[in-house]
Structure 1
């Protein structure tokens, strides 16, 4: 399988529009990488569904990267790449030792069907995702961009539904370290100035999909609060912490 392989993923996915330059901001974090590697249990053949640029793929396994976005696959360094939807994986039953999906299920058109596909093609399944019912909520949502809340709750299925769909037997919490290197939205919970950077916001699917009429004023308010010191006064306790559990979970299923 190579870069030209395609299984007809359907309409152009969101990352065909917002994925340019993604790899520069979204650098895999070694702590999450170690957790995922342990969860894969030494699998020799792995399919990475919603692979994006290939973060967290095990270096010692034969990996097939699957993504519906040509823009993302073009940034993926691997040799085995297939353009396809999670809802219709072009592989035989039990084709892989393991399947992995990292921060992607909320972009799938039919998440529960996609998880059933993982279950069909692999004996072991790993899903790194977010629990929409978890609290606390990231401050940037509650204080600056509440529009993100409705967007996230609309696209993330409850954790219990995802666990059932993939047959998960283990759920591992992953508190986000303050110096987390993978620049998704919650990575900057203790580095508020990063949200002022357009490149950082462009690598976050929520910010990237919101209109400028929403994001512009929110960023201006944050900038003013940072310059005045109000943000730091409001979050003095948060600044003393090394990690916070914002609801990210690794689900493990199968053998």
Structure 2
């Protein structure tokens, strides 16, 4: 994917898997014997039984650890795999990048024998609960309005799936969109934003005014006064969801 050929160059620095989220994903995979990771990126959250990673960006593939599963450059909508190739297929924070989510999900169903695990988010919940996009960067949220795939649609495409909330720890080590909800200064760091496609694809010019307001509120103590309740929380639910479909 050309997007990650340009914005993914430093991805491995800020997007390190969080062990608590990893545990939830690996529990969802259950006792499946072999796993294919679609939209695999740098290999975060791949269990040891991963047999293949599918990733369109060579830049992302180049950042995969040497000991990770072999990777093939391909897109979700056309997986280079036979029917029923793997016991389980997982797709983590990737579907919003797909050109045709329905075709991609159909491919997951074709390749998986037993289970599909998808990590995504509920855009309506995200907009309402995450202070950064609600109060400072609605422009970034508007960008995601166009690409976020509704949870109900995904469940239908999967042929049914159970939903699990994925709480975000206050010290989350995986720097995705809401990872720094209790560390607001982090969003002023260009390197942090560089690992979050919501911000990089919205463009610095569009989000710069909101970042200035955030910096001013942090300097004046207004952010901490307004969000003092967050500082007592260990985790927060801002809409990230794990979908688990048994075939």
The TM-score normalised by the length of structure 2 is 0.94
SS of corresponding position for 1:219: helix
What residue ranges of structure 1 are gaps of 5+ in the alignment?
1-11
In 2: Cα distance, 1:128 partner to 1:95 partner? 21
| 1:125 aligns with one of 109, 116, 120 | 116
Within 5 A, what are the aligned runs for 1:165-184?
A: 165-184=157-176
| 1:249 aligns with one of 238, 241, 244 | 241
CA deviation digits over 1:71-126, x for unaligned, max 9?
Answer: 10111122511100100101111000100011111011111211111010002100
In 1: Cα distance, 2:204 partner to 2:20 partner? 34
Q: Does 1:199 align with 2:191?
A: yes
Q: Residue 223 of structure 1: CA displacement?
A: 1.1
CA contact (8 A) 2:12 2:42 kept: yes
Aligned to 1:13: 2
Aligned to 2:92: 102
Q: Does 1:73 align with 2:64?
A: no
Deviates more, 1:173-182 or 1:50-59: 173-182
Q: Any runs of at least 4 consecutive aligned residues in structure 1 with deviations exceeding 6 A, and if so which?
A: none
Within 5 A, what are the aligned runs for 1:1-255?
A: 12-59=1-48, 61-77=49-65, 78-123=68-113, 124-134=115-125, 136-254=128-246
After superposition, the CA RMSD in angstroms is 1.3
Greater fraction of residues in helix: 2
Q: Residues 79 and 169 from structure 1, CA distance in 2 versus in 1: closer, same or farther, beyond 3 angstroms? A: closer
In 1: Cα distance, 2:190 partner to 2:58 partner? 23
CA deviation digits over 1:45-70, x for unaligned, max 9?
Answer: 211000000000002x1420101111
In 1: Cα distance, 2:220 partner to 2:161 partner? 48
The TM-score normalised by the length of structure 1 is 0.91
